[in-house]
Amino acid sequence: MKFLVCTLLLCVFCIGTMSAQNGLSLAERKALVDSIKNNPLPYAITRLPDHINSPFSEYNPLLLSDSLFFFSSMRSEVDDDNELFFDTHWSSKIYQADYEGDNYLNVRALSSVINKGKYYHPNFCFNKAQDYMVFSRCYRTVNEELVCDLYESHKQKGKWGKAELLGSDINGKDFSSTQPFLAELEDYAVLYFVSNRPNGQGDMDIWFSIYKNGKYEIPINAGSGINTAGNEVTPFYDVKTNTLYFSSDEWLGVGGYDIFRSQGGLCSWTTPVNMGVPLNSEENDIYFAVNQNGKSGYLSSNRPYDATHWEDTCCNDIYRWESLLKEKDTLEVSQDSVFMVIKDFFPLNLYFDNDQPDPKTLNDTTKAQYAALQSEYGNRKSQYLAAAANAEEKLWLESFFEDSLEACHSKVQQLLSFVEERLAQGQRVTLSIEGYASSLHSSDYNRHLSQRRIVSLLNELKAYNGGVLRRYIERKQLVIKELPYGSTKAETIQGDAVHGRQAILQRKIIVWDIEMN
């Protein structure tokens, strides 16, 4: 009985099996997983007390204004655990507690305006002003499936108003919408949420809807940079760092669901990075949240919480995490952990404007440096937006220019700094760089173009920090493998061959791998 109660809400994740990813062999995958397990990161993990964590499941921990703590919990309305009384006496509600000096006081459920009758209420989020709330309301079908819709409520005079079902663009009768997180930006807000609606990447995907002038726009899938053929759930977006935290059962991890992070926004993201052990365990780790100080937060996990409960993994408890790093130690730790650096940087995609550098030539070399090319590309943003085919394409372009393209130069500088340090320690470093072009020109032309793109990064590398890396290249301590593929791997472009999404994503180089010995 207890197992059934505790797993009902987890069933909304549609737990699947992890498939091969990014072309890695089973041996390579095992080596990476072992590396995560064997390189624990400096975090303290503490289980919250029993008046927060019940014998069943707790979810969605969230600390607001450093004084109010919210969470959801599935609890019995009576002490009798008789299965005959299941429908009457079990519910999932949203709770709040006063947070004072690491104590959680006066735990109480939100009013019946939010926590309605026999429904389950496992997920919620608030705006910055804490006077607007989006939450999920779920019910069980005759097949024991959990179906969820998203609702909103406004607070007036200290009380939450009537719960209103979000529109048909967000909710639908044939799918679930759940696990909302509202990220407020300067001119609009973005509602990230989870759904198994049609036209996704897999089972449960992360979607987003722009919230502007009190209305939600048509949801858009967050894309294959985040979503997989499996399940991606429990999004939390940190506006300060432009970082999305989420859990997945498909990206490479150590447990069932692992926590990952990715920088970007909307549908343009860096490659997700596993948050490592001890934030992740061999069980399911979900609902990662960051407090306002950026150095602590919460998660929900069904990991065994002590040696006497090593077999008890049926239900989720809430844990508080806290970074043990001092600011001055952060860089040292990241530099000393080769595995973490690899996760952060590879594959590193660097994008180019059409026919750049040095258009209409068959040269294999160029004097251009990638940083200057990237800056010139960014200056043409308005021209690309003017050529957008529709509103969705324009939204994608905004995200691409503001996130993917602008992040490129910073990533390159961080990578070169890391490479310089390794070389100074006497290690031999090999970088593999692949060059690509769109299918707009001939194969021969595109091979030369992709070679020039690789060279532009080499020019950046040679100019870095006053040319400090040149001597390592000359003595062959720093080796660059150049792989100009041209358009041999590019699909025929459908639509705008210059300004369209397909063409934009084909024009790139990829710093694919690093070897150190």
pLDDT of 395 reads 86
pLDDT of 406 reads 75
User: Per mean pLDDT, which of 135-139, 221-225, 324-328 is the most reliable?
Assistant: 135-139
Output the CA torsion 99→184→346→405 (10° steps). Answer: -160
pLDDT of 25 reads 66
Does one domain contain both 445 and 351? yes
Q: What is the pLDDT of residues 176-185, one digit of tens each?
A: 999 999 999 8
Whether pLDDT at 134 is above 60 = yes
Does one domain contain both 359 and 389? yes
**Which range among 262-276, 296-310, 358-372, 475-489 shows the weakest confidence by mean pLDDT?**
296-310
Name the percent of the chain lying above pLDDT 90: 54
Does one domain contain both 354 and 327? no
Residues near 117 by beta carbon (within 8 Å), at least 6 away in sequence: 91
Whether pLDDT at 41 is above 60 = yes
Whether pLDDT at 228 is above 80 = yes
Q: Check which CATH number belongs to the domain holding 200 and give it.
A: 2.120.10
Residue 346, Cβ density class (10 Å: 0-12 exposed, 13-18 middle, ≥19 buried): middle
Name the percent of the chain lying above pLDDT 70: 86
| Domain stop point among 310, 325, 340 | 340
Residues near 61 by beta carbon (within 8 Å), at least 6 away in sequence: 48, 69, 70, 71, 287, 289, 298, 299, 300, 318
Does one domain contain both 8 and 126? yes
Quote the CA–CA distance of 191 and 180 in Å, as a whole number.
7
Residues near 244 by beta carbon (within 8 Å), at least 6 away in sequence: 192, 206, 226, 235, 236, 237, 238, 261, 262, 263, 264, 265, 269
Task: Look up the domain containing 214 and give its range.
Answer: 2-340
When comparing pLDDT for 505 and 144, which is higher?
A: 505
The overall average pLDDT reported for the chain is: 85
pLDDT of 179 reads 97
pLDDT of 139 reads 87
Does one domain contain both 394 and 299? no
Whether pLDDT at 164 is above 80 = yes
When comparing pLDDT for 166 and 6, which is higher?
A: 166
The distance of Cα 19 from the centroid of its chain, to the nearest Å, equals 19
Whether pLDDT at 253 is above 50 = yes
Q: What is the pLDDT of residues 283-295, one digit of tens each?
A: 999 999 999 999 9
pTM (two decimals): 0.66
How large is the average pLDDT for residues 498-514?
A: 89
What 8-state DSSP symbol labels residue 308? G
pLDDT of 77 reads 54
Does one domain contain both 247 and 317? yes
| Number of residues written out for the chain | 517
Does one domain contain both 457 and 506? yes
Does one domain contain both 472 and 445? yes
Q: What is the pLDDT of residues 88-109, one digit of tens each?
A: 446 789 999 999 988 999 999 9
Q: What is the pLDDT of residues 50-84, one digit of tens each?
A: 999 998 899 999 999 889 999 999 876 555 444 44
Residue 299's pLDDT band (boundaries 50, 70, 90)? very high
User: Per mean pLDDT, which of 10-19, 103-112, 486-495, 505-514 is the most reliable?
Assistant: 103-112
How large is the average pLDDT for residues 449-466?
A: 93
pLDDT of 90 reads 60
Q: What is the total count of domains within the chain?
A: 2
Does one domain contain both 90 and 217? yes
**Measured CA distances, 395 to 68, 199, 399, 494 (Å):** 35, 18, 6, 19
Does one domain contain both 353 and 279? no
pLDDT of 300 reads 96
Residue 187's pLDDT band (boundaries 50, 70, 90)? confident
Quote the CA–CA distance of 32 and 20 in Å, as a whole number.
13
| Domain stop point among 308, 340, 372 | 340
| Domain stop point among 312, 340, 368 | 340
Does one domain contain both 308 and 387? no
Does one domain contain both 323 and 372? no
